[in-house]
Structure 1
């Protein structure tokens, strides 16, 4: 098969990593994979570094033009984001190729948008959701998504990279708690900061490192850190390339999201035996079920503080939940298996088209 991946995001987050994982898995299975992406973005750069053909364009008209002109040269067009599936179905009358969409969000469709979103989704030939939570809205609108969960792969840690971070942030001799999330409303950084503040009232043996780009809650988050006197405890590390290396020094990984389709960063923690404390938002409840971590209600900063303390102090609990989490992630979130599940859907579509 010749497969075109679509992802036009500006930055590098979980969806972009999953796009690259899909491309690797499809290529490893013997298929030709190309990418339509934002020119100059990190996804174009990383795909190029790995030898993929990446068609970088600068705007929506250029995306539409490429799909209209070149789309028929592919067997499958796989949209990895909500925006790109729009352009894929709008040009379908010109490229006549099956469109696959991976829904990676759990947002509720606004009532006044249901007709438009539903019409778009119904033109997709294979609708994939990465979790039961991500599947809820399309099901409500009468669709039947296939569940193919996001993946994570074993990572060889760059120790020099880690040591540079430890030295830069002064992490020596401290327990390290961390999150990886943009400073935006959906990730609820204010609840996280308050939880860290509560934990800091009872102990001084840790630092909390917040990895992630800025956003609409950055100013409030920094103000809250100052208001609680956490400047030496709560460290804003910004976006970092190769963050997977840093899990090797984490004692606890924390997520405070209000909305989350899956929360793929917790999978890295699972893979590296790091205990996770998380809100029960969306797909996070699925990931941490059956004792694979500590689940708290969204917005409950006191429960999050208690969960972090338990992960730091209760060795037996920590060992049990990290083993459960590791066994789960290796079974349910394997990159090769994810690729196999997608390819089975692609082959089904092509067989139906040929028939």
Structure 2
């Protein structure tokens, strides 16, 4: 099969990494894989380095021009973001025998004022995939029945030199490392996280917190709140880092404070490295941490989060037991081979119908 992956997002987050995992897995299975992506962004650059065929454009509407002319050259057009689906839906009538696949990676509720538009473009997809029960909830409410295919993670060799560089940069020494990987945006709720760390620091001073992630709409508030609580030497805004997976080897606890999350692929990374996780119960995070695979707390509740962090730090044997259970869960449910096989089975069914 000839498969076109479409992801026009800026930066490098879970959806972009999952797009690359799909590309690798489909190519390994013997299929021709191409990418339509935004020029100069990490996804396009990484795919080019891995010798994929990559088509780049600068402006979102230029996706439509490319799809208008070339979608029919593929068997499958696999769109990975809602923004790109808009342009794919507009040009869908010109796809010829190509089949349109959309993977929903968010759990955000549909705006009632835009519901009919959203439903209209969702219905253009020949196959609608959701990565979790929460990601599937809104489509189901609107009469669409998605196929569930979970995100995956790839085992990778840790660059210990990279991890050591960051250890030295923040003078970690013998301190415990609590960390997150999330942009400074409201949906990730960094302000609740900072307040939780302030509460924890009032109880113990044997840790630092590393917050990896790009700038966003909460950046100024986050910096002000860190200063307000006197956490300048405790809570470090470490910015966006390439190959963040290398740095997980430094973490004693991984933390997520999201208010909305379809799944949470960064949590899967922590699971794979047997790192205890403290997280809100937002969206798919509750699914991931079910059955005591971590420590759950309510969204926006800094007191609960601080208590969960203290529990994990004060009782390391229990924390390790939960991390072991989470590791086994990842092995059983989130490997790339399983994800690829499920997608390809659906693709083959679609293209068989197309013939």
State whether TM-score is above 0.5: yes
Q: What is the distance in 2 between the residues matched to 1:57 and 1:269?
A: 34
- Contact 2:5–2:19 at 8 Å: present in 1 too? yes
- Contact 2:71–2:95 at 8 Å: present in 1 too? yes
Q: What is the distance in 1 between the residues matched to 2:83 and 2:24?
A: 23
Q: What is the distance in 1 between the residues matched to 2:316 and 2:280?
A: 22
- Contact 2:61–2:87 at 8 Å: present in 1 too? no
Q: How many residues align?
A: 354
Question: 1:60: Cα distance to partner?
Answer: 2.7
SS across alignment from 2:287: helix
Instruction: Summarize the alignment of residues 248-259 of structure 1 with structure 2, pairs less than 5 Å apart.
Output: 248-259=249-260
Identify the residue that residue 138 of structure 2 maps to in structure 1. 137
Question: 1:228: Cα distance to partner?
Answer: 0.3
Q: What is the distance in 1 between the residues matched to 2:70 and 2:121?
A: 21
SS across alignment from 1:199: helix
In structure 1, the gaps of 5 or more residues are none
Question: 1:330: Cα distance to partner?
Answer: 1.1
Identify the residue that residue 49 of structure 2 maps to in structure 1. 49
| Structure 1: 4+ residue segments shifted above 2 A | none
TM-score by length of 2: 0.99
Deviations 1:212-262 (A, max 9, x none): 001001100110000000000000000000100111110000000101111
Identify the residue that residue 353 of structure 1 maps to in structure 2. 354
SS across alignment from 1:340: helix
Q: What is the distance in 1 between the residues matched to 2:223 and 2:316?
A: 33
Identify the residue that residue 26 of structure 1 maps to in structure 2. 26
Identify the residue that residue 225 of structure 1 maps to in structure 2. 226
Instruction: Summarize the alignment of residues 168-247 of structure 1 with structure 2, pairs less than 5 Å apart.
Output: 168-247=169-248
Identify the residue that residue 335 of structure 2 maps to in structure 1. 334
Q: What is the distance in 2 between the residues matched to 1:308 and 1:77?
A: 43
Instruction: Summarize the alignment of residues 39-78 of structure 1 with structure 2, pairs less than 5 Å apart.
Output: 39-78=39-78
1:311 to 2:312 alignment:
yes
Q: What is the distance in 1 between the residues matched to 2:154 and 2:127?
A: 25
Question: 1:61: Cα distance to partner?
Answer: 3.3
Identify the residue that residue 109 of structure 2 maps to in structure 1. 108
Identify the residue that residue 156 of structure 1 maps to in structure 2. 157
SS across alignment from 2:54: strand
Deviations 1:287-318 (A, max 9, x none): 00001000001111111111111211212211
SS across alignment from 2:27: helix
- Contact 2:8–2:60 at 8 Å: present in 1 too? no
Q: CA RMSD in A?
A: 0.7
Q: What is the distance in 1 between the residues matched to 2:15 and 2:286?
A: 19
Identify the residue that residue 287 of structure 2 maps to in structure 1. 286
Instruction: Summarize the alignment of residues 84-99 of structure 1 with structure 2, pairs less than 5 Å apart.
Output: 84-96=84-96, 97-99=98-100
